[in-house]
Structure 1
Amino acid sequence: MCKVARSTGVPRPARPSRAAVSRRPRLRTIALVGIDGSGKTTQAQRLAATLTEAGRPARYHRNAGGRRWLGRAAQRLGRPDAQRLLGRDAMLVTESVLRWLAIALALLGCLLSGRVAVMDRYAVCQYASLRAHGGQRWERLVRAGYRLFPRPQVTFLLTVDPAEAYRRIEQRGTDHESLEYLAAADLAYHAVPEYPTFVPVRADRPPEEVAREIRGHLAGWLAAEGDPADRDSGCGEVRAVPGATALIPARALP
């Protein structure tokens, strides 16, 4: 005789599916930020190439604010720099608008192509620039305009002593920044509200060591996306493999 289990009348809670438990945002945007001379451009270009070679197509985006280009234009017109040409406030507003456009185009490219956007500078760079140049009164307005942009899944803050950054800038000879400004920018990056979400990386080491540490921080994201069956053409979500999140520092988690 077959026994039938008697119901207690209390419904069992629905168990979440395995896919629902393990799903997490797909790696879409990585930002490298820090003062001029910290090596952002070098590391961002390397990272985009490394991700692409590993089968995770990525594109490098240099989200410049136009200060270098405007500085060259100012020199042709007999002015020492862009700020002396336009004035401090006009220069900061112009820089904010140009960087906003650059970031918007980069994010649009991610949506259309499905590539990871490796950002050389992001919104927080503009906030730090405003603070370092004494333009704090513009920050609230600029933040309102930049609020449209999502926070990157991972933001690396490349840290270097301002004196070393100054030496590197002078050595490359394409632009100039005062040591006072670099010190002020370094303080600004550590003072912005976004600072606790950054993954700090010491950038006063050989580029190969810096690149290796950055790749190590991203190992969990790449492992989670390693199954080709989980890849799609957009910027959606993928299944994470068990244990992958253990490789991701807490500051890098979405």
Structure 2
Amino acid sequence: MARSLRRRRGRARPRTIALIGIDGSGKTTQAHRLAEALTAAGHPAAYHRNAGGRRRLGRLAHRLGRPDAQRLVGRNGLLAVESALRWLAIALALLSCLVTGRTAVMDRYSACQYASIRAHGGQRWERLARAGYRVFPAPRITILLTVDPVEAYRRIERRGTDHETMRWLTAAATAYRTLPEYADFVVVDANGPPDEVSRRIRAHLAEWLPDDQPPSTAGSSGGTGPPSGRAGDGGPLPAQARP
């Protein structure tokens, strides 16, 4: 009886699954697909995009005649705004799924903020962010989509809505690998086409997704944006970072 109970608990529907990674890794496409796949498999799920508001701040900077968001509010100001807005987005997403009972498929989570801060050399801000984000439960599964910075750069340039430098993409990729949580991440190679990446993700979620379920075609235009073709979050820093 106890063994059977433990087995049922082990197969319980995950409350939260987070997809993280550098810009151009395909987080948004794969998060949309995963939410749809879980729902189709009988595990109602909802997609949540936990943006830090950097893109909107960058647009405001341009309207005010500044080249980027960091020139508008400074590095510390930008990291503070991003940390606060992402915290609020995650809180609202968790509350929504608590009310609806759906699995929260998170497009970005707290680790994205830690990596962004770390890549900018803001160790003091990372300590503050961790103190604030500590109230959030760790996802049942955190999937780190890894992609060669050269491939990420190609994808970003192809979508044509924003820009990243190779220097920043490399720094962000390194930041994820150096996070203390890295050992707990499910690392998925995201260098291939979206369908291939979806299959790799599904292989780690076979407990909830049947093998014969085809991958969703949502957002299949290159693996770097949502079905609507909208680009990922961010307003530019000098390196225009948006992990």
Measured against the shorter chain, the TM-score band is 0.7 to 0.9
When Rg is computed on C-alpha atoms for both structures, the one with the higher figure is: 1
Give the aligned CA root-mean-square deviation in angstroms.
1.5
Shift of residue 56, structure 1, vs aligned partner: 1.2
C-alpha change, 1:48 and 1:17, in structure 2 (3 Å) is: closer
Task: Pick the aligned partner of 2:80 from 90, 93, 99.
Answer: 93
Shift of residue 222, structure 1, vs aligned partner: 4.6
Larger relative contact order, structure 1 or 2 (CA cutoff 8 Å, min sep 6): 2
Shift of residue 23, structure 1, vs aligned partner: 2.3
For 2:77, the aligned partner's letter is: A
C-alpha change, 1:17 and 1:202, in structure 2 (3 Å) is: closer
Q: Does 1:156 align with 2:143?
A: yes
Map 1:201-240; keep pairs closer than 5 Å: 201-222=188-209
| Structure 2 stretches lacking a partner, 5+ long | 211-243
Q: Does 1:33 align with 2:34?
A: no
User: Corresponding residue for 2:9?
Assistant: 23
For 2:72, the aligned partner's letter is: L
C-alpha change, 1:143 and 1:46, in structure 2 (3 Å) is: same
Tell me how far apart the structure 1 counterparts of residues 38 and 110 of structure 2 sit (CA, whole Å). 23
For 1:27, the aligned partner's letter is: P
| Deviation digits for residues 20-67 of structure 1 (CA, Å, limit 9, x no counterpart) | 564235311110000001000010011111111222111110101011
| Structure 1 stretches lacking a partner, 5+ long | 1-14, 224-254
User: Corresponding residue for 1:68?
Assistant: 55
- Provide the TM-score with structure 2 as the length reference: 0.82
For 1:180, the aligned partner's letter is: R
Tell me how far apart the structure 1 counterparts of residues 91 and 42 of structure 2 sit (CA, whole Å). 25
Deviation beyond 4 Å, 4+ runs, structure 1: none
User: Corresponding residue for 1:137?
Assistant: 124
User: Contact (CA 8 Å) 1:68, 1:175: kept in 2 or not?
Assistant: no
User: Contact (CA 8 Å) 2:47, 2:106: kept in 1 or not?
Assistant: yes
Secondary structure at the counterpart of residue 138 of structure 2: coil
Identity of aligned residues (%): 69
Tell me how far apart the structure 1 counterparts of residues 105 and 140 of structure 2 sit (CA, whole Å). 11
User: Contact (CA 8 Å) 1:133, 1:181: kept in 2 or not?
Assistant: no
